[in-house]
Each structure stands twice: as structure tokens, then as C-alpha cells.
Amino acid sequence: MDISKYLEVSEEVKDALKNNRPVVALESTIISHGMPYPQNVETALNVEKIIRDNGAVPATCAIIKGHLKCGLSKDEIELLGKGGSDIPKASRRDIPVLLSRGSNGATTVTTTMMIASLAGVRIFATGGIGGVHRGAETTMDISADLEELSSTRVMVICAGAKSILDLGLTLEYLETKGVPVIGYGTEELPAFYTRKSGFKVDYRIDTPEELAKAFKVKEDLDLKGGMLVTNPIPEQYSMDPDVINRAIDEAIAECEEKNIKGKQTTPFLLARIAEITGGDSLASNIRLVYNNAELAAKTAAELCKLR
């Protein structure tokens, strides 16, 4: 199968992969749908800088003019930032139509994993993954991120599942799909804005070297699926659980009242939570992404040493 007419890998990323230098994939939904302009562009460029400062090459992913892109220019990041919510949020189901139309698209965890895998990038840093939504027993609202983790061989480093979700059911789903959930320096699943959730992870790992070794074994055995690493938000940026949970409950009630469903749910909830908390949740979101980018770069460097 020739995918070269659909996939474009930047020269910097190509060179790094060819010479066994560390590369970290990044999503672009956070740019277009995660925060307002110009803060979204500033944050995206800062994340790339953190990855470079820690010895790796950033590979921000998106759909640009009908091509799957692994490694964006500053102008392309600016395009996504200015476009905001007018840029389609692209999951797996959206790829055929967006590419055939020559459209742009902001990649979710799912599509970023796909692009990274196609390009040969094995480490991906994001904010939080999607999961099983509250009330999924009646709505069947389960993020495609979980299905992608069950099939695509990429390590995803995040701050846990977004706390707008049903965290218990999300862990159950990942267990069913055979996805290992690892806590970095913790035995408890972090809940995105906060460090604790009351739920246990499968394993605790304390160093980037250990993370890389575990993933290398998975590669060597050609085991299907990815690996989820949950990295707690730094203590100084963690929000008060009572404050954030009240904001989440209020936002979910409004979401149900407005009958918002599907791919619009998460952007609405995150934006509304930011409004309710006076911007505190957005500030925490940015800091946890920076923290994940640093860990991802260090882990990618360790993985290169094993190859």
C-alpha cells in the first residue's frame, strides 16, 4: 500500500527518524479547539520548545490541505490557531472525506496516533485522553481514543483521562482491550486537573528509562496496541478536587440541557469549565501539557538508546 500521496513527514522529522534521534508526536485539536487564539499558538510553540530543550524533535500532527502531516511549520500552527473551531475536529471516521476534499483538520488523540504510527513515531504527548463518558450505558458515548489505543503501537503520555468522563468505566474498557495503564511515579490514576482519582493504575513506573524498556519489550514481541502512561499534573498546578468537580457537574448539566452530543461534547465542556473556574482550569491544562511533553521527550531519548 502506497500512502506517500496522503502522508507528508517534515524533513526535520524524517532526518531524526532516519538517524535514530528522538521524536515526539503532538496533537492539534488542543490548538484549534482547546483554547483561544493567540494563547493556543503560544502554547503549541512552547510545547515544541520544551521537547527541543529536552533533546527531541517535535512532530505536531494535523490534516493540512488534504494531507496527513507529521511535523508542522510555524505558519501551519498559526493557521490552525487562527482557524479555531472552524477547523474540523478530525477523528478516524473523518479522514477519508477530509483528505478527498483537500480540507484541513485538527487531529485528536486517535488521528495523531494514526499519523505518528504511519510515520514511524512511537512516542506521543497530549493533555488527556478521551474515554467512556458519564451515562455511556444509555448513550454509548465512548471515545475513539480507547479503540485506537487497543490497536495502534504508540505510547501515549497524558495526565490521565479527562475528569469530565467516567474514569472507572474508562479503566475497565482499557483492561478489556489489553491496554496497559501505567502511572508515572504514582499508583493512582491522575484525573487531568487533579493528581488523584481514587482509581488504581495497572503499574507504577518511576523513570523514563523504565518506560522505554517496557515499550521496547512490547515492540520486540510485536504486541498489538499502545501503552498509556498517566503523568500527574505538577502539585503546584493541581486544582482543588471539590472546586473542579463542582465546575464539571455544572458544565455537564448545561451540556445535557443544550443537547450537545458527539464530538462537540468535550470542547463545550472544557470551555465551559474554564469559564466557571475563571480560567484556572485552562492554566492547569497548559501546565500539565508542558509536563507531559518533557516526560515524552526524555522517554523518546531513552527508547532511541535501546535501538
Confidence at residue 265, expressed as pLDDT on a 0 to 100 scale: 73
The verdict on residue 101 lying in a domain is: yes
- pLDDT, one tens digit per residue, over 223-241 is 999 999 999 999 999 988 8
Residue 290 within a domain: yes
Annotation says 162 is catalytic: yes
> Picking from 7-21, 25-39, 108-122, 154-168, which range would have the lowest pLDDT averaged per residue?
154-168
Has residue 244 got a pLDDT over 90?
no
Task: Determine, yes or no, domain membership for 33.
Answer: yes
Per-residue burial over 165-203, b if 16 or more Cβ lie within 10 Å, else e, is bbbebbbebbeebebbbbbbebebbbbbbbbebebebee
List the catalytic residue out of 8, 27, 48, 148: 27
Classify residue 85: in a domain, yes or no: yes
Determine, yes or no, domain membership for 177. yes
Active-site option among 69, 89, 162, 263:
162
In a domain, 2, yes or no: no
58 preceded by a cis bond (ω within 30 of 0):
no
Please write the tens of the pLDDT for every residue from 268-303: 877 787 788 777 888 889 999 999 999 999 999 999
Domain CATH for 205: 3.40.1790.10
Per residue in 134-152, pLDDT tens?
776 676 778 899 999 999 9
Predicted structure pTM score: 0.92
How far is residue 258 CA from its own chain's centroid? Answer: 27
Spell out the residues 6+ positions from residue 10 whose beta carbon is closer than 8 angstroms to its own.
Answer: 59, 69, 70, 71, 72, 73
262 pLDDT more than 70: no
Domain assignment of residue 162, given as a range:
7-305
For the question of residue 27 being annotated catalytic, the response is yes
| Number of domains making up the chain | 1
